Amino acid sequence: MISDYPRSLAILCQALQAHDEELSLDMADWLANHVDDLHLPAFLPDLARLEQLLVAVERLDVDLAPPADKIVLNPSLRIAQFDWQNLAPILAGRDEEGKPGEQLVLVWRQTNGAVRYKNAGPQDLLALKLVEENIDLAQAAREHQVTFAYLDRILERAEQEEYILVPATTIRRDPAVFKENDFTSKRYLSSSAFTLQWHITQACDLHCKHCYDRTSRKAVDFTQALTILDDFRSFCREHHVYGQVTFTGGNPLLYPRFSELYQAASERGFQLAILGNPTSREVLEELQAIQPLEFYQVSLEGLAEHNDHIRGAGHFQRIIEFLAILKELAIYSMVMLTLTRENQEQVLPLAEVLRNQVDLFNFNRLAMVGEGAQLLSAPTQGYEDFLRRYYTASLDNPCMGLKDNHLNALFAREGRSSFGGCTGYGCGAAFNFLSLLAEGEVHACRKFPSYMGNICENTLSEIYHSEAGERYRAGSAACDGCKIRAACGGCLAVTHGMGLDFFSEKDPYCFFS
């Protein structure tokens, strides 16, 4: 608003005009004619022009709605050249002196109505050039000898400041299936981010008793892997989302040339994370030097004795020691537990052990698939009580996260606000999340067979918009009409693992009605 920045010059101009109806000069021109005889700072006329431009931009009648299909310049944006520098910080109230010299200043109105202004730096001008001339980023990266990630960061900052406007994400739920209501608002109906969980290799240095898949799958070669990264980048740009690649396996670090693949993903502008096993400080430092990890997730299956029974002797202690390394390197750490009948009562004690050692502790319910079929799921009877005890404990333990979708059923019953559930959008299978297996198969979720296509044969966009993709996104018809559907949807993998039809039957742990 006009009141958000100094108005001394504009007020003086209005006062002069009010007392002299024949005054024909604007404020800047009047000041230019009187700078010397009034002993005013020489930069003052330019400062007045800048302030007049702010007022003019605020009064513009422009549509600032997101564009339909491509990035555009904010229609309120004005670029002005001045003969004096430091005008923007002076106008912001900082104790600066005007300096002779040409300066470009950007002035624009944001979607919330606020008028912004800033000195135009080289990166601002590059962002404007990329958008105005619709320059191909691959071409720009080559010409400027920079990475995609560098250009993405420039455009992302311009987008955040809103002097460029980008189309709304096209990752949206089907409004005929997922409806906004008093519990699951529209924030669950579209996503501005997309995760590709890439099981880059089947190779693993563990043999856990609940592994979803121990079959032999040949990993794509490095050249194919680069093609996949380029395809995912195209997918993200087509759908106007930020992309995250979460490398996993097996143990992703056992993929040949993993650090080179990590580098390539970084150069393409993705956020990067790892779901894996403990590794050395040296490996972590190498990855951090390329691009800091969003998080590194490891697994524990309960207290030491039970965990080592599932994952191998000494594994519990190795995880504890590894978490200490993650903390020293300031890498966000996560521990995941697969909930079973045997370890359910170890969840809260384990959370206490991890209280000051991990940033986030969560659990997923067992999907009785692959070798996991040999284990027993947690009992459905009493599950609501378990979730209530977990949530109560989490209020006093900052490392305990909320992930299981059925917590929203508990919250709805007790009048609490909803949270994002498993993927931030309830069941995100084939919505804001896809699993890519080692040889190229794309699944809606890694925890159960949910084949949608092969990325070596079709693009990710073609696979995402396939008939299979639509079916997995819709989830179970048994959830039709449920007011928490968009923040829940149960778990298709758990439903499948218990021998039910996940397209027509309800998650057996559901207690909401």
Grouping H, G, I as helix, E, B as strand and the rest as coil, residue 162 is coil
d(CA 452, CA 434): 10
Residue 19: what pLDDT? 52
Distance of CA 198 to the CA centre of its chain: 16
Task: For 340-396, list the strands marked E by DSSP.
Answer: 360-365
Give the dihedral of Cα atoms 297, 375, 500, 427; nearest 10 deg: -10
Closest to 200 (Cα-Cα) out of 110, 149, 131, 273: 273
pTM of the model as a whole: 0.87
Closest to 108 (Cα-Cα) out of 152, 68, 160, 164: 164
The single-letter DSSP state of residue 215 is S
Full pLDDT tens readout for the chain, 513 residues: 334 444 455 555 555 555 554 444 466 776 666 666 666 777 878 888 898 899 899 999 999 999 988 999 999 999 999 998 988 888 888 867 788 999 999 999 999 999 999 999 999 999 999 999 999 888 888 888 889 899 999 999 999 999 999 999 999 999 989 988 878 778 899 999 999 999 999 888 777 756 666 667 899 999 999 999 999 999 999 999 999 999 998 899 999 999 999 999 999 999 999 999 999 999 999 999 999 999 999 999 999 999 999 899 999 999 999 999 999 999 999 999 999 999 999 999 999 999 999 999 999 999 998 777 788 999 999 999 999 999 999 999 999 999 999 999 999 988 888 999 999 999 999 999 999 999 999 999 999 999 999 999 999 999 999 999 999 999 999 999 999 999 999 999 999 999 999 999 999 999 997
d(CA 87, CA 120): 12
Residue 217, exposed/middle/buried by CB under 10 A (0-12, 13-18, 19+)? Answer: middle
Closest to 493 (Cα-Cα) out of 480, 477, 509: 509
Examine residue 426 and say whether the peptide bond preceding it is cis (omega within 30 degrees of 0). no
Span between the terminal Cα atoms of the chain, in Å? 48
Whole-angstrom CA distances from 31 to 5, 26, 184, 494 are 20, 9, 57, 74
Residue 6: what pLDDT? 45
Grouping H, G, I as helix, E, B as strand and the rest as coil, residue 363 is strand
**Residue 95, Cβ neighbours under 10 Å: how many?**
6
Which residues does 61 contact at the CB level (< 8 Å), separation at least 6?
none
The single-letter DSSP state of residue 450 is -
Residue 51: what pLDDT? 86
8 A C-beta contact, residue 466 and residue 450: no
The sign one gets for the Cα dihedral 360, 361, 363, 364 is positive
Residue 210, exposed/middle/buried by CB under 10 A (0-12, 13-18, 19+)? Answer: buried
d(CA 221, CA 438): 10
d(CA 235, CA 237): 6
Residue 203: what pLDDT? 87
